[in-house]
Amino acid sequence: MKPSSLLQALLLLPLAVADYTLSPRPRLTPMPYNPRVPFPNPPPRSLSRVCVVNTHGDGFTDDTYSVLFALHECNDGGHVLFLRGETYTIGSAMDLTFLKHIDIDVQGRIQFSNDTQYWQSNSFPFVFQNVTSFFKLGGEDVWIYGGGTIDGNGQVWYDEYAANIYTLRPVLVGIDGLKDSVLSDLVLRHSPQYYHFIANASNIVFNNIDIAGASTSKHSAKNTDGWDTYRSRDVTIMNSVINNSDDCVSFKPNSTDILVQSLFCNGSHGVSVGSLGQYVGTFDIVESVMVSNISMHNASDGARIKVWPNAPSAMSDDLQGGGGSGRVRNITYEDMTIDNVDYAIEITQCYGQRNLTLCQQYPSPLTIDDVVFRRFRGTTSRKYQPLVATFACSSPKVCGDIRATDINVVSPSGTSQAYCLNQEAANLELECTDNYKGFR
């Protein structure tokens, strides 16, 4: 709902007097690959339509109406500016799916309130793994940049989740239906859960994103994936730094034509396909994915494909599944640097199921084929040595054509073994063994 006319005038009063400078649009430099479709390249917005967002500036009074008014006023051809040095507090859920042909210049700091009771009742629900979001970003031709910070105020959520695992924690940037848009030159801090959840989107670029937000209490920050894609295609993620404690990037069901390149990932669970096959009766697809030039440090995995078996399984009380079908096809991981990573490569169709016998008794119906790992370098952690990788398929009928070439990764003891289950060992340039460790 838009504010009243009088309130609108007050909220945008700084527009006439503010001394501001607009940030230039970021240059998008893809390396080493160009995406399948050209990057968005709209004409410049009108310099006569600049909406400077006012703020109470006290760190706790809700600035949501001011933000919404500016976005409505300068939508379809203008600029919205969050001023450098200012803090904007968001205490109300925002549906931003109306946006089109707009540049949003975030130079200041946007932070979300710590009212966990409000957000659990009012954040926007998605349909996958209990995902909700503070705001829902959609529309077309939206550019968000400027070098400023978006802060999810995550510490209160980390502590609350430790007390109650059924707490609905919002993602920091929730995207639904966005197309032909760019998010670049942003600092993201302390997300309660995923940093980005990208649903029903097409031709979206994420460039030069700085992600971090560790807990300051004994309760760790959990499920803080950098990006999760879902029912989306032609997504490019590049030139970014991610310090987190879950997947650096994860391709959830029905993610196609995805390019991920030139990332520094630290503390993560790797760049992951999945998890897939979680829900009975669903058909999950992830295909045509290129992951290139990744520096992976202090992580559980480098490259990972995770599929639930065809039997009820549980990772935890709030994450259970198994029995879905689908396919993973045309996936390439290349040029990955491995530094203190538990598994350089992990494929499992036994995700959430630690009973290997049960996993093979009820093999996943989800097929995996045409997967390539090439030019990996570095050293794993000691956790699973002598293993540096695991290729665990529940059945050879649904899992094949997996190749690993030019894999120069060793454990700290100098070994390069891989656990191989239902695999063509000749396609893997690693020493296969049947001594498995660490199903997760």
Cis peptide before 275 (omega within 30 of 0): yes
Q: Which two tokens stand for residue 118?
A: 């409000």
The verdict on residue 84 lying in a domain is no
Q: Given pLDDT bands bounded at 50, 70 and 90, which one contains residue 296?
A: very high
Question: Any catalytic annotation for residue 79?
Answer: no
> Who wins on pLDDT, 369 or 352?
369
Distance from C-alpha of 362 to C-alpha of 88, rounded to nearest angstrom: 52
The verdict on residue 190 lying in a domain is no
Query: What is the predicted pLDDT for the residue at 437?
Result: 63
The verdict on residue 16 lying in a domain is no
- List the CATH number of the domain containing 413: 2.160.20.10
319-321 and 173-176: which strand pairing?
unpaired
Unique residue bearing structure tokens 């109306």: 98
Query: What is the predicted pLDDT for the residue at 187?
Result: 99
Q: Which two tokens stand for residue 71?
A: 């976005």
Q: Given pLDDT bands bounded at 50, 70 and 90, which one contains residue 319?
A: confident
The verdict on residue 417 lying in a domain is yes
Distance from C-alpha of 143 to C-alpha of 25, rounded to nearest angstrom: 8
- Residue of 79, 190, 269, 297 with catalytic role: 269
Strand order across the 431-433 sheet: 94-96, 135-137, 173-176, 196-199, 227-230, 249-251, 271-276, 301-307, 343-348, 387-392, 417-421, 431-433
The verdict on residue 405 lying in a domain is yes
The verdict on residue 145 lying in a domain is no
Q: Which two tokens stand for residue 248?
A: 């650096």
Query: What is the predicted pLDDT for the residue at 200?
Result: 98
CA torsion angle for 130, 231, 278, 215 (degrees, to 10)?
-40
Distance from C-alpha of 242 to C-alpha of 294, rounded to nearest angstrom: 11
Among 10-14, 78-82, 120-124, which is the least confidently predicted range?
Answer: 10-14
Residue 199 has pLDDT above 60, yes or no: yes
- Dihedral of alpha carbons 222, 136, 288, 332, sign: negative
Question: How many structural domains compose the chain?
Answer: 1
Residue 5 has pLDDT above 90, yes or no: no
Contact status, residue 181 vs residue 143, Cβ threshold 8 Å: yes
Which residues touch 256 (CB under 8 Å, ≥6 apart)? Answer: 232, 233, 285, 286, 287, 288, 289
Distance from C-alpha of 235 to C-alpha of 217, rounded to nearest angstrom: 35
Query: What is the predicted pLDDT for the residue at 440?
Result: 45
Which residues touch 183 (CB under 8 Å, ≥6 apart)? Answer: 143, 144, 145, 173, 204, 205, 206, 207, 209
Unique residue bearing structure tokens 């050209």: 38
Query: What is the predicted pLDDT for the residue at 11?
Result: 47
Query: What is the predicted pLDDT for the residue at 438?
Result: 55
The verdict on residue 111 lying in a domain is no
Q: What is the mean pLDDT of residues 189-209?
A: 98
Q: Residue 440: give the domain boundaries.
A: 247-440
Amino acid at 132: T
pTM of the model as a whole: 0.94
> Who wins on pLDDT, 130 or 301?
301
Unique residue bearing structure tokens 């699973």: 384
The verdict on residue 266 lying in a domain is yes
Contact status, residue 322 vs residue 260, Cβ threshold 8 Å: no
Q: What is the mean pLDDT of residues 281-285?
A: 95
Residue 124 has pLDDT above 90, yes or no: yes
**Average pLDDT, whole number, for the chain?**
93
Q: What is the mean pLDDT of residues 230-257?
A: 98
Q: What is the mean pLDDT of residues 179-194?
A: 98
Residue 404 has pLDDT above 80, yes or no: yes
Q: What is the mean pLDDT of residues 257-286?
A: 96
> Taking CA 204 as the corner, what is the angle to CA 110 and CA 302, rounded to the nearest 5 degrees?
90
